[in-house]
Amino acid sequence: MAKEKTLYTCTECAATSPRWLGKCPGCGAWNTLIETVPEAAGAGKNRLSTPQYAGLAQAQAVAPLSSIEATEVVRTPTGLEELDRVLGGGMVEGGVVLIGGDPGIGKSTLLLQALDALQRAHLPTLYVTGEESGAQVALRSRRLGLEGSQVNVLAEIQLEKILATVQATQPAVCVIDSIQTMYSDQLTSAPGSVAQVRECAAHLTRLAKATGIAIVLVGHVTKEGALAGPRVLEHMVDTVLYFEGDTHSAFRLVRAIKNRFGAVNEIGVFAMTEKGLKGVANPSAIFLSQHSEPVPGSCVLVTLEGTRPMLVEIQALVDGGGPSPRRLSVGLERDRLAMLLAVLHRHAGIASSDQDVFVNAVGGVRISEPAADLAVLLAITSSLRARALPKGFIAFGEVGLAGEVRPAPRGQERLKEAAKLGFTVAVVPKANAPKKPIAGLTIHAVERVEEAMQVVRELA
Positions touching ligand TYD (CB under 6 A) are 101, 103-109, 140, 143-144, 272, 274-276
Minimum distance of ligand TYD from residue 276's CB (angstroms): 4
Which among Mg ion, ligand TYD, none contacts residue 106 (Cβ within 5 to 8 A by kind)? ligand TYD
Q: What residue is closest to Mg ion based on CB? A: 108
Minimum distance of ligand TYD from residue 305's CB (angstroms): 21
- Span interacting with Mg ion, options 108-116, 243-251, 356-364, 435-443, rule CB under 5 A: 108-116
Minimum distance of Mg ion from residue 129's CB (angstroms): 8
Q: Closer to ligand TYD at the Cβ: 242 or 358?
A: 242
108 near Mg ion, rule: CB under 5 A: yes
**CA dist list (Å): 399 to 283, 293, 297, 337:** 26, 28, 19, 11
User: Is 105 part of any known ligand binding site?
Assistant: yes
- Span interacting with Mg ion, options 102-110, 157-165, 387-395, 422-430, rule CB under 5 A: 102-110
- Span interacting with Mg ion, options 106-114, 306-314, 326-334, 381-389, rule CB under 5 A: 106-114
Minimum distance of ligand TYD from residue 130's CB (angstroms): 12
The span from the CA of 278 to the CA of 301, in Å, is 25
Which among Mg ion, ligand TYD, none contacts residue 457 (Cβ within 5 to 8 A by kind)? none
Minimum distance of ligand TYD from residue 112's CB (angstroms): 8
User: Is 289 part of any known ligand binding site?
Assistant: no
User: Is 319 part of any known ligand binding site?
Assistant: no
Q: Closer to ligand TYD at the Cβ: 32 or 108?
A: 108
Q: Closer to Mg ion at the Cβ: 183 or 243?
A: 243
Minimum distance of ligand TYD from residue 233's CB (angstroms): 17
Minimum distance of ligand TYD from residue 290's CB (angstroms): 23
Which among Mg ion, ligand TYD, none contacts residue 359 (Cβ within 5 to 8 A by kind)? none
Q: Closer to ligand TYD at the Cβ: 93 or 132?
A: 132
355 near Mg ion, rule: CB under 5 A: no
Which among ligand TYD, Mg ion, none contacts residue 406 (Cβ within 5 to 8 A by kind)? none
Binding residues for ATP: 101-108
- Where do contacts with Mg ion occur on this chain (CB under 5 A)? 108
Binding residues: 101-108
